[in-house]
Amino acid sequence: MGALLYGFAESTDAAARLAKALDSGFSEVSVHRFPDGESLVRVDRPPAAAIVYRSLDNPNAKLVELLLAASALRQNGAQRVLLVAPYLCYMRQDIAFLPGQAISQRVIGKLLAEHFDGVLTVDPHLHRVHDLSEAMPGTDAVRITAAPALSAALGEGGDTVLVGPDGESRQWVEKIAAPLGCPVLVGTKQRSGDRQVAITFDGIELVAGRPVVLVDDVIASGVTLATAARQLRDAGATSIEAVATHCLASSHDLAALEDAGIARVRASDSVPGPVADIPLAGLLADAINARRWIEEG
C-alpha cells in the first residue's frame, strides 16, 4: 500500500490537491462531535507512512482532534506519522514578556514533536527563534516559504512597488519582489495594542503615480495593512492590492481593508477562505519529496 494523505473536513480541497501532487491516496478523517464538546476521531487503516494535513488556525478547536488522529494512525499500523500544517499556531510567543506568561511556542512545539515524526509548515510566524527545529526538538521540523507561489500569482511586476508594512515583512517582500524585478518599500511599525498600530515609511514618495502591492506573512485583523494603505493612498499610489501567505481575517476585517483603499486581497490556500486562491500543493509536495518522507516510510 502506497502513501496515504489524511485531511479534515474543513480543508479537503487543499488536502486533495496535495495528495494529487504527491500521487498518493486521500482519506478524510472522520470526526463525530458529542453534545458535550468531545470529539470521536476515526481513520481508515493507514500504510507505513501516513501524512496528516491540517492548518492550525483556530487552534484550540483543532489540536485535540489532530492528536487523536495521530494516535489512531499509530494504533492501526502507521510506522511514521507526519504532519503538514501550512499555518502553524502558537509560534510567536517564544519568551515570557511579563512574569507569569506561558511560553506557548515551547508547549505546542513539544506537543506536536511528541506525536509526529515530521512537521512541515509554511512561513511560520517566528521572532527570536529562526530555526523551526528549536521550537520542535526531536522531530524533522521543516519550514518553507510561499514566496515562489505568491510571485507567480502576481505575474509581471512592471512599475508595481511591493510594500512591507514593517521590518518583519522585509524577508517576504524581498523574496517575492526579486523574480519580478519590482522595487521594494518597507515601513516601520509601532504597536500599542492588538488593533492599534502606527506606521511610517521612509521614502514613501516612491509610490507616487505607481500601483502598489502590500505584502505580509499573516493577515489577522488587517489593521496593519489598512493603516499602511491609507498612507500609501495619500502618497499618490494609483492602486493598492495586498497579498499574504496566510489570511485569518474575518469578512468584517476584509470589508475594512476595502474601505481603506485595498482593491483586492489574495492569499495562499493555507487557510480556507474567500481570498485563498493561490495553491501551495506544488511547493508542499516538493518539500515532502525532498525530505524523502514517503520513501522512508
What is the domain partition of the chain in residue ranges?
Answer: 4-145+280-296, 147-278
CATH 1.10.540.10 fits 147-278, yes or no: no
Report pLDDT digits (tens) over 153-208: 998 777 899 999 988 888 889 999 999 999 999 998 877 555 677 888 999 999 99
Report pLDDT digits (tens) over 193-211: 556 778 889 999 999 999 9
**CB-CB contact of 51 with 15 (8 Å):** no
Fold match between domain 4-145+280-296 and domain 147-278: yes
Q: Cell triple for residue 219?
A: 493577515
Cα dihedral sign, 71-75-80-86: negative
In CATH, the architecture of 4-145+280-296 is 3-Layer(aba) Sandwich (3.40)
Residues 196-201: contacts with CB under 8 Å, at least 24 apart: 196/223, 197/223, 197/224, 197/227, 198/227, 199/165, 199/166, 199/224, 199/227, 199/228, 199/231, 201/163, 201/228, 201/231, 201/232, 201/235
Angle at 19 between CA 14 and CA 23, to 5 degrees: 150
Relative to beta strand 264-268, strand 211-219 is unpaired
With a cut of 70, say whether residue 297 has pLDDT above it.
no
DSSP string, 54-85: ---SSHHHHHHHHHHHHHHHHHTT-SEEEEE-
Q: Per-residue pLDDT averaged across 12-30, rounded?
A: 96
Report pLDDT digits (tens) over 235-265: 999 999 999 999 999 999 999 999 999 999 9
The pLDDT assigned to 93 comes to 84
24 pLDDT band, cuts 50/70/90, is very high
